[in-house]
């Protein structure tokens, strides 16, 4: 009798462990350009080998200020999409940097899709918004397709955020235009 309970306990533990050890297809709501859309999953976002727990909580409109909360591990931010949020995608804007980004996704039947893209480095930082159909090839580019009534306009946007470390040891993400004029480096044409 004790062996039966031990086997049940082992099976239960291994089932729970496998559920939380990696994203599984059962967490997938649907796919956008072959990328799964989730409400909750576990992924290593910073490339350090630790699993990050990512969860999206949808909420009622908060006097038009927010309609979702994104939680990664113990950090969370609230945000607002124009329409009802569909879920989030794990994207990789630059496959060379071992980091992955989270894109809160709204599928819009009456117009373009909408993305709010976040980077996680122990804090959640919004790094951009896209109000068009987009694909993320992983080469620092975002291909944006905009419907122009009778034709589709395709633009390529270069992802230009940099991870910097200050003399104080503090790190963070900033755009090139923020620090370009403050650098004292010998620039060559």
Task: Render pLDDT for 16-54 as a digit per residue (tens, 0 to 9).
Answer: 444 444 444 456 777 787 788 888 999 999 888 889 999
Residues 6+ apart with CB under 8 A from 99: 45, 46, 47, 92, 119
pTM confidence score: 0.71
Q: What is the DSSP letter of 16?
A: H
CA 129 from chain centre, in angstroms, equals 11
According to the model, what pLDDT value does residue 184 have?
61
Q: pLDDT tens digit string along 50-77?
A: 899 999 998 776 565 668 999 999 999 9
Q: CB within 8 A of 138, min separation 6: which ones?
A: 92, 93, 94, 95
**By CB neighbour count within 10 A (0-12 exposed, 13-18 middle, 19+ buried), where does 68 fall?**
buried
Chain-centre distance for alpha carbon 162: 17
- Give residue limits of the domains in the chain: 28-136
Instruction: Give per-residue pLDDT as tens, 138-174.
Output: 998 888 888 888 888 898 877 776 777 778 888 877 7
75: enclosing H helix or E strand = strand 75-79
């Amino acid at each position: 009798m004790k062996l039966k309970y031990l086997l049940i306990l082992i099976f239960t533990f291994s089932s729970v462990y496998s559920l939380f050890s990696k994203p599984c297809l059962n967490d997938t709501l649907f796919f956008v350009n072959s990328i799964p859309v989730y409400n909750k999953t576990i992924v290593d976002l910073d490339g350090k080998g630790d699993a990050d727990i990512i969860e999206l909580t949808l909420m009622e409109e908060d006097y038009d200020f927010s309609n979702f909360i994104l939680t990664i591990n113990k950090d969370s931010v609230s945000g607002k999409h124009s329409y009802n949020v569909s879920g989030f995608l794990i994207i990789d804007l630059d496959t060379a940097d071992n980091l992955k980004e989270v894109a809160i996704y709204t599928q819009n039947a009456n117009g373009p899709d909408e993305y709010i893209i976040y980077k996680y480095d122990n804090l959640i930082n919004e790094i951009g918004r896209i109000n068009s159909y987009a694909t993320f090839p992983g080469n620092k580019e975002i291909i944006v397709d905009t419907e122009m009534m009778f034709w589709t306009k395709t633009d390529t946007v270069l992802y230009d955020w940099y991870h910097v470390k200050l003399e104080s040891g503090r790190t963070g993400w900033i755009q090139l235009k923020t620090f370009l004029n403050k650098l004292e480096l010998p620039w060559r044409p």
